Amino acid sequence: MSIQALTQPVSGAPVAELLRSFGGPIHVPGDDSYDAQRVALNPAFDSRPAIVAEAASPTDIRAALAAAGNHDLPFAVQATGHGTFVPSDGGVLVKTGRMAQVLVDPDRRIARVGPGARWSDVIAAAAPFGLAPLSGSSPSVGVAGYTLGGGVGWLARGYGFAADSLLRVDIVTADGRHLTASRGVHTDLFWALRGGSGNFGVVTAMEFRLHPVAEAYGGVAYFPFDRAAETLAYYRDWAPTQPNELSTTVVLVQNAPRPDIEGPVVAIRGFYVGSPEDGARALRPLQRMAGQALVDEFRPMTYPDAATIGGTAPRNLELYDDLPGGLVDTVVDAVGGEQPTISAVEVRHWGGAMADAGPDAGPVGHRDTPFSFTIDSSPDAAAPLADYATGGSFLNWLHDTSRTADAYTPSDYARLREIKRAYDPDNVFHRHHNIRPA
């Protein structure tokens, strides 16, 4: 028990129980630190848990889970707060930021990380060995939540989703057991964890593969908006022909994110694993179609530099089997027309290793769908684009918790519900994209 925990005021039986068994700091309403600790990344969630408990060990997680169960309190977990989609009002909120250890084995190309680690921690530890994790566009995102939700970033076409690189997960289940899940033990649980999010327990550590990235070429370039339709139509046919070493997106932006560019623009983002010469050659046809660049920031880079490329924060996500002319015209008008309704749309081609993960891959859904839109707009403004979509979704970028099932194929979702019944029949872990027990 920490000195900080002892100084917190006791406000009821759950807090008293935790003070006897919990090693990390505890925060309750009225504490000076409570408001800072309860906050999520999204300011729309004004969560007010009864207890915020900063876990320092798996034993702390088990103690917090037991206290919540003994006193019939809702339970939630938060690392960085990026994945908060349901407020944790009135319950026990466990923070894992103090469990942020990162160990890299360069010979085996494996990283072992704690549940509070951020991608920036892993990237920094792996880079000296010429290795990289399958992180996303923002290094501040937490490793555990991102990976359990699937995880797609600049290396995904070459190596698959982040969940596909998982080798082992240590987890505390709803009944307080501390288990290890891998391809050789608790295999059903291991399958579910590779895309099923936090529905099956609280991660205490995970191990995953790292991948060699010796040299790379990447960046972003901005182009006039007048060729937006032609660029998207070309991208539809060009992107599926590219090597897996190249990942790209085409972004339509209502207001250019630079003071030296006015009006709507087309942005091309990309990252190529290989020589800068080969990367520039691969990207050249798409850039030529977009016209004369207003600003071109593509350059040779290391994997840590990929964080400078950026990404579009999704408020809505849709998946597409194709980009027909009607969809292209609709999105171009919505972003750059006389009465624009959408701030930005990032069009991404998937494919590569994401679509070819093997027969034992986890339940990351809709691997065969080739295109996604991440849309910065209200749901009403995005509705016309949804008319062309498949109806599927991707968990990491899905904010609407009523659509959780849409992130999976029907057969995978049914299997996830059966595994949920086996490991969490009372649905203790539900304050997120919840998969209910069958």
- Cβ(365)–Cβ(412) under 8 Å? yes
pLDDT for 259 equals: 87
| Rounded-to-integer distance, Cα 377 and Cα 252, Å | 13
Nearest-angstrom CA–CA distance, 259 and 267: 15
Residue 154 has φ and ψ, to the nearest 5°, of -70, -15
Which of 352, 325, 310 shows the shortest CA–CA distance to 234?
325
* The pLDDT of residue 84: 63
Q: Give whole-number Cα distances, 425 to 19, 76, 322, 430, in Å.
A: 28, 16, 39, 11
Kindly list the structural domains of the chain, giving each domain's residue range(s) and its CATH number in brackets, ordered by start.
Answer: 3-95 (3.30.43.10), 102-212+407-423 (3.30.465.10), 216-400 (3.40.462.20)
333-338 long-range contacts, CB within 8 A, separation 24+: 334/377, 334/381, 334/384, 334/385, 335/225, 335/228, 335/252, 335/253, 335/254, 335/264, 336/225, 336/228, 336/252, 336/254, 336/263, 336/264
pLDDT at position 88 is 75
This prediction has a pTM of 0.92
Measured distance CA(283)–CA(271) in Å, rounded: 10
Give which of 363, 357, 343, 349 is closest to 406, Cα–Cα: 363
pLDDT (0 to 100) of residue 42: 67
**pLDDT in the model for residue 28:** 87
Spans in the chain with pLDDT lower than 50: 1-10
- In whole angstroms, give the CA distance from residue 118 to residue 133: 11
